[in-house]
Amino acid sequence: MNAHEVIDAYVRDVARCLPRSRREDVALELRSLLADELAAKTRAVGATADPGTVMALLRSFGRPAEVAARYHQRPALIEPAYSHHFMIWSMAGAITASVLAALDPTKAIDRGEFFLKWLGMLVVAFALFGWWRRHNPTALPWKPRHGPERMPRWTAGLAFAATLALPVFMYAAPMTFTHTASFGRLPVAGLELTEAFRTGWLRATTLALFALLALMYATILVQGQRRAWIGWMSAALHGALGLLMVAHTLPAAGPAARVFASAEADAVAAPIFRAVGALLILGALYDVYREWMRITPAPR
Amino acid sequence: MVDRENSGLSELRRGVLVLAVLSRLRTPQYGYSLRQALAEGGMPIEEGTLYPLLRRLESQGLLSSEWNTEQTPRRYYRLNAEGERTLAALTEAWRDQVRVMDGLLDGRRR
């Protein structure tokens, strides 16, 4: 390649990165400018133009894609300002995929495939959001939000009541709970617990942790805020309860893990225990994230 | 330390690049001649920065351009009416900034 062929190759590579309507025009001008620069350089050193001199000139000009970006800035698929959010959502997807795949006894969930689909959806969602933001720059202005310490008393009260009514009552006495909740319309005989489960460590531990969870909400109700230690306690309780829920479906946990006397009821309950376990574990990880990200701008 | 100074100087120069370019385009110039004119005036600019900037200023409606094919084909740029107005406004703003900065820097010395 002689010097002019090298310039032509460079100009082509720059122009390829530009919108079709501007390629010819920019290519023509860029070629003329580079020829001027080259002529000045060779005049200065009293030499003829050779490929080495041209390459040195082009290196100082920059890589073709970067030069093209100076002529025409294309919007980023994921706006740099939102790349942090993209990373966080990507990691959340990776963790969710790992938890779901680990808890899926049928191994139908492929962690890699789940994650790649998630990444694809995120890229599309962020690209669409960026496009929308560029066309509506004043839409969705920032609004102040409370930090993680904020939990209104009414929410804490509701959480306390709901924890007592649902997990505690339902778990402690499933037959009574179902009879009460269905106003006696649903048959409850199949919900009889096995003796091993009723008196076993798994049920006692789970009930104790549910009670602690209710106590935690009662503490928030009294204090009127969700302090950092409560956030960590919430993460620990949800994580432990999630693991215990999963243990309800594991034969390795022994006879205490056989919940219902009826095998059919056990078969129906197992995926529910696993799903609830997965949700609790993901909730615990979210609690950890919230506490890890907790920022207190005002002096304590 | 030298890197930091160089980086600070680059930031300063980047801020006044448009004003410097507009100031040299009262008469028609093509890319290389403009670069030479700026360098001779004490404002050397990398070619990879200057040439795209000319296109941007043209697309912003501040410059007009035309090809001169009498000798070596070259694109010549010059200020149009909007460019003249912008240059006047930026020049005034620049002089205000110089006054403000002089005040700040003198105040620091005191």
* A146-175 pLDDT tens trace: 888 888 999 999 999 999 888 888 888 989
Task: Calculate how close chain A gets to B77, using CA atoms only, in Å.
Answer: 12
DSSP B30-60: EHHHHHHHHHHTT----HHHHHHHHHHHHHT
Residue A60 near chain B (CB below 8 Å): yes
Above 0.90 for ipTM, yes or no?
no
Tens of pLDDT, residue by residue over A109-126, are: 899 999 999 999 999 999
Comparing CB atoms, the residue among A35, A36, A71 nearest residue B55 is A71
Using the beta-carbon criterion (under 8 Å), do A37 and B51 form an inter-chain contact? no
Distance CA B2, CA B98 (A): 24
* Contact between chains at A33 and B31 (C-beta distance less than 8 A): yes
**Domain B2-109 of CATH type 3.40.50.300:** no
Using CA atoms, how far residue A276 sits from A49, A279, A282, A295, in Å, is 73, 5, 10, 30
Neighbours of A237 (CB within 10 A): 20
- Asked if B73's CB is within 8 angstroms of A36's CB, the reply is no
- The residue of B47, B49, B54 whose CB has the most chain A CBs within 10 angstroms, and thus the best one to mutate to test that interface, is B47
**Residues of chain B positioned with their CB less than 8 A from the CB of A67:** 48, 52
Q: Is the pLDDT of residue A190 over 80?
A: yes
What is the domain partition of chain B in residue ranges?
Answer: 2-109
Q: Which one of A26, A61, A71 has the shortest CB-CB distance to B47?
A: A61
* Stretch 57-96 of chain B: residues touching chain A, C-beta under 8 Å: 72-75
Residue count (chain A): 300
Collect all residues of chain A within an 8 Å Cβ-Cβ radius of residue B75: 29, 32
Q: Who has greater pLDDT, A97 or A49? A: A97
Task: Please count the CA atoms within 13 angstroms of the CA of A154 that sit on its side-chain side.
Answer: 0
CA quadruple B69, B75, B80, B86: dihedral, nearest 10: -170
Of all residues in chain B, the percent with pLDDT exceeding 90 is 69
Indicate the average pLDDT of chain B: 90
Query: Does residue B109 carry a pLDDT above 60?
Result: no
In angstroms, the CA A264 to CA A279 distance is: 24
**Gyration radius from chain B CA atoms:** 16
